[in-house]
Structure 1
Amino acid sequence: MIRQLFGYYGVSIMQTFVEFGVFALLQLAGAPFRIANTAAVFCSGSFNYAMNRSITFKSSSNHIRSIAMFTAMYCWNLLFSNLMMSWIPSQLGWPTMAVKIITMGMQSIWGFLLCRHVIFA
């Protein structure tokens, strides 16, 4: 489990750079945050799935089942982060980028648990 934990968070660190980088570049290019976030989550999710399936969890589980469950988790993550970035800045005055970082941290915790015990089990 410790090896998987380190592997998962190593992939997550790389994924964070992918996701935040795509998000920031699209925001700087003038894209609305929902479009920027959707593209960022799609790119980072694809990266995360490939790396965690083949390297971290070395999964031989049903590939179609794993993709479906991973996609469901990422749809939830996208909905959650978009809702938080819509609500928190308008209600609390926090910067969108700060809310993005917080939601990514939360997602990394439940993401490991779901990947280890459900998606790649």
Structure 2
Amino acid sequence: MAAEGEATVPNGAGAKASASQAGAGEPKRAGGFLRQAFTYYGVSIAQTFVEFGVFALMKAFGLAVGVSNGIAVACSGAFNFFMNRNVTFKASSNFWRSVALFVLLYVWNFLFGTWFIDATSAAFGWPQAAGKLVTMVMQGIWGFCLCKWVIFK
């Protein structure tokens, strides 16, 4: 009879149970690729609400559009950084290195996005919203890859 907390194992499966129990003392991984991808894109969706909410709140306090938008972008970027660092990727890498790389990614995304929207509109006659949508998809893909394998590594 099995003691409390122990599972009984059918004949022939004992080796499998022992092998899985052997890894019980190993440190947990930060999570599988799919879990991280879903969490990363979930954080991005939440970031949208944070940015809009902070923008609306700042406007309600009577701040100018540029100031309100700047505060909103800073708050949503900080939210994204801390959530992805601590929840999505569970990073223990150098904090300031991660901050610097994350800021560089934001600057790159801004510069590339602005150029791409204008370039596709001028070259192909695309509506600017279509260029923005394509830009956001590309930024979402390389942003995840860079956060996973470079920024929070």
Deviations 1:5-47 (A, max 9, x none): 111111122335566x59xx9xxxxx8xxx8xx9576554333
Percent of aligned pairs sharing the same letter: 53
109-118 vs 81-90, greater mean Cα deviation: 81-90
AA aligned opposite 2:128:
T
Say whether the 8 Å CA contact 1:8–1:112 is kept in structure 2: yes
**Two-structure CA RMSD over aligned residues (Å):** 2.6
Give distance in 2, aligned partners of 1:95 and 1:16. Answer: 22
Confirm whether residue 48 of structure 1 aligns to residue 89 of structure 2: no
Checking the alignment, whether the CA contact within 8 Å between 1:15 and 1:47 is kept in structure 2 is yes
Equivalent of residue 7 in structure 1, options 8, 19, 39: 39
User: What is the Cα deviation at residue 95 of structure 1?
Assistant: 1.9
Report the TM-score when normalising by structure 2: 0.59
Q: Which has the higher contact order (CA 8 A, sep 6+)?
A: 1
Q: Does 1:58 align with 2:90?
A: yes
Report if aligned partners of 1:41, 1:78 keep a CA contact under 8 Å in 2.
Answer: no
Matches within 5 A, 1:49-88: 49-88=81-120
Q: What secondary structure, in the 3-state scheme, does the structure 1 residue paired with 2:80 have?
A: helix
SS of residue in 2 equivalent to 1:74? helix
Identify, as 1 or 2, the structure richer in helix. 1
Aligned-pair CA distance for 1:61: 1.3
The alpha-carbon deviation at position 93 of structure 1 amounts to 2.2
* Structure number with larger C-alpha Rg: 2
Structure 2: any 5+ residue segments left out of the alignment? 1-31, 57-64
1:58 Cα shift?
1.6
Aligned length: 108
Unaligned runs of 5+ in 1: 26-30
